[in-house]
Amino acid sequence: MDSPMKFTPHYEQPVSNFIKRSLKGSQEYVDFIPKSHLRIWYNHQTEGYANHYHNALEIIICVENQYVIIANNQTYLLNPGDILIIPPFMLHELRGNLLGSRFIFLIDIDMLRCFQDFKTLDPIFMSPFLCTASSHSEIYQHIYDSLMKMADIYFSHGVFWETSIYVILLNILMNIGRHHYNQLRSENISPTDSRQHEYYTIFANLLNYIDAHYTENLTLEQVADYIGFSKYHFSRLFKQHAHMTFHNYLCHKRIQAAQSLLTANMTLPITDIAFQTGFNNLTSFSRCFNKYANCSPTEYRNKLLSEEISY
């Protein structure tokens, strides 16, 4: 990073009627700026945020001292300048510090899913994305500077402030995606630019196909046939680009959808949720859910109902 970060705690919300973050059980109902799709805080509270989730993308930049975040059953210790991106609907806990500060971004990204390229980011954001000066030296400074620009635009609240922020966000996501696929090239997965572009196009179409059909009885053979590859070639290509097997990706995709249904409708029977998300029986659904959420669907729902959280 170019220079030590120095901030004052006087970043005031541009709209005065904002009171606090609110939760029902573990679900946070994000209070975006009225008639907008985002909210940014300069946070220097000493108390932590208990286990919760929301339908917004969360980006945290540690500013002063360290900040501990538990997400996806993994603990992240952020140092000043470190950036953590937490996908929507992922349970996470933020642990406060007696002294410290950080920027917290909550951004609705649902409208971005209409872009074909956006689907290619799904494998990257199956888990929290940690970006530090050492882990992502090629893109870190650009991402950090871009996020600081987003914060400046937000708190100044000038003309076209929201559009300007989303333009910068898209650029950040584009750089993360390009960095990921450039790494694939450096690993000699695709020896030429033309072949790399060909595989990227195939992979993008494939992820869009899975996104449209994951509720059906998709098989490896069916999806391989869709893109005209043998099962072996398809499996190898998919694992190289997604860093996981097709089966694991499909299960993860279905569990994300199931988590959304479990939280959106607390009375919908779990058996119905299993079938609506592409599982043929409750046993396979429960096994897959436990693998990725570390609890059963019933335990997940009960946890959301029982936890009382306030900020």
Which of the two residues, 17 and 288, has the higher pLDDT score?
A: 288
Which of the two residues, 243 and 250, has the higher pLDDT score?
A: 250
Q: Report how far residue 173's alpha carbon sits from residue 212's, in angstroms, rounded to the nearest whole number.
A: 22
Which of the two residues, 102 and 198, has the higher pLDDT score?
A: 102
Q: Report how far residue 23's alpha carbon sits from residue 34's, in angstroms, rounded to the nearest whole number.
A: 18
**Does the pLDDT of residue 197 top 80, yes or no?**
no
Q: Report how far residue 290's alpha carbon sits from residue 299's, in angstroms, rounded to the nearest whole number.
A: 10
Question: In sequence order, what are the beta bridge partners of 76?
Answer: 69
Q: Among 110-124, 130-144, 147-161, 295-309, where is mean pLDDT lowest?
A: 295-309
Closest CA to 90 of 263, 244, 288: 263
The band of 309, judged by pLDDT with boundaries at 50, 70 and 90, is very low
- Which pLDDT belongs to residue 191? 47
Instruction: Show Cβ contacts of residue 149 under 8 Å, excluding neighbours closer than 6 positions.
Output: 168
The band of 203, judged by pLDDT with boundaries at 50, 70 and 90, is confident
Give me 237's structure tokens.
């290509």
Structure confidence by residue, pLDDT tens digits, 4-47? 455 554 577 777 655 555 555 555 556 677 788 999 988 887 67
Helix (H) or strand (E) holding 289: helix 282-293
Q: Report how far residue 64's alpha carbon sits from residue 43's, in angstroms, rounded to the nearest whole number.
A: 10
**Does the pLDDT of residue 308 top 50, yes or no?**
no
Question: Order of strands, edge to edge, in the sheet holding 74-78?
Answer: 49-52, 92-95, 67-71, 74-78
3-class DSSP assignment, residue 43? strand
- Which pLDDT belongs to residue 23? 57
Q: Measuring CA to CA, how many Å separate 97 from each of 44, 102, 161?
A: 9, 11, 31
**Does the pLDDT of residue 307 top 90, yes or no?**
no
Which of the two residues, 28 and 55, has the higher pLDDT score?
A: 55
Residue 32 is given by DSSP the state: P
Question: Order of strands, edge to edge, in the sheet holding 83-86?
Answer: 38-43, 101-107, 57-64, 83-86, 129-131
pTM for this entry:
0.75
Q: Report how far residue 268's alpha carbon sits from residue 289's, in angstroms, rounded to the nearest whole number.
A: 16
The dihedral formed by the CA atoms of 166, 5, 65 and 43, expressed in degrees to the nearest 10: -40
Structure confidence by residue, pLDDT tens digits, 256-271? 899 888 877 888 999 9
Closest CA to 55 of 217, 198, 256: 256
Q: Report how far residue 171's alpha carbon sits from residue 143's, in angstroms, rounded to the nearest whole number.
A: 9
- Range 199-218 average pLDDT: 87
Residues of the chain with CATH 1.10.10.60: 248-306
Structure confidence by residue, pLDDT tens digits, 71-122? 888 899 999 999 999 998 888 888 877 678 899 999 999 888 888 778 888 8
Q: Report how far residue 200's alpha carbon sits from residue 50's, in angstroms, rounded to the nearest whole number.
A: 39
Q: Among 72-81, 83-92, 196-205, 235-244, where is mean pLDDT lowest?
A: 196-205
Question: Which one is the CATH code of 22-137: 3.40.50.970, 2.40.160.50, 3.40.50.2000, 2.60.120.10?
Answer: 2.60.120.10
Q: What is the mean pLDDT of the chain?
A: 83
- Which pLDDT belongs to residue 310? 33
Q: Among 24-33, 215-224, 298-307, where is mean pLDDT lowest?
A: 24-33
Topology (CATH level 3) of domain 248-306: Arc Repressor Mutant, subunit A (1.10.10)
| Cβ neighbours around 46 below 10 Å, total | 9
Q: Measuring CA to CA, how many Å separate 60 from each of 67, 80, 95?
A: 10, 11, 12
**Identity at 39, one-letter amino acid code:** R
Give me 24's structure tokens.
């029902």
- Which pLDDT belongs to residue 3? 42
Q: Report how far residue 157's alpha carbon sits from residue 169's, in angstroms, rounded to the nearest whole number.
A: 16
Q: Among 160-164, 181-185, 250-254, where is mean pLDDT lowest?
A: 181-185
Contact 27, 79 (CB under 8 A): no
Q: Which residue has the tokens 């090629």?
A: 138
Q: Report how far residue 137's alpha carbon sits from residue 148's, in angstroms, rounded to the nearest whole number.
A: 17
Contact 119, 208 (CB under 8 A): yes
Residues of the chain with CATH 2.60.120.10: 22-137
Q: Measuring CA to CA, how many Å separate 173 from each of 24, 62, 179?
A: 30, 19, 10
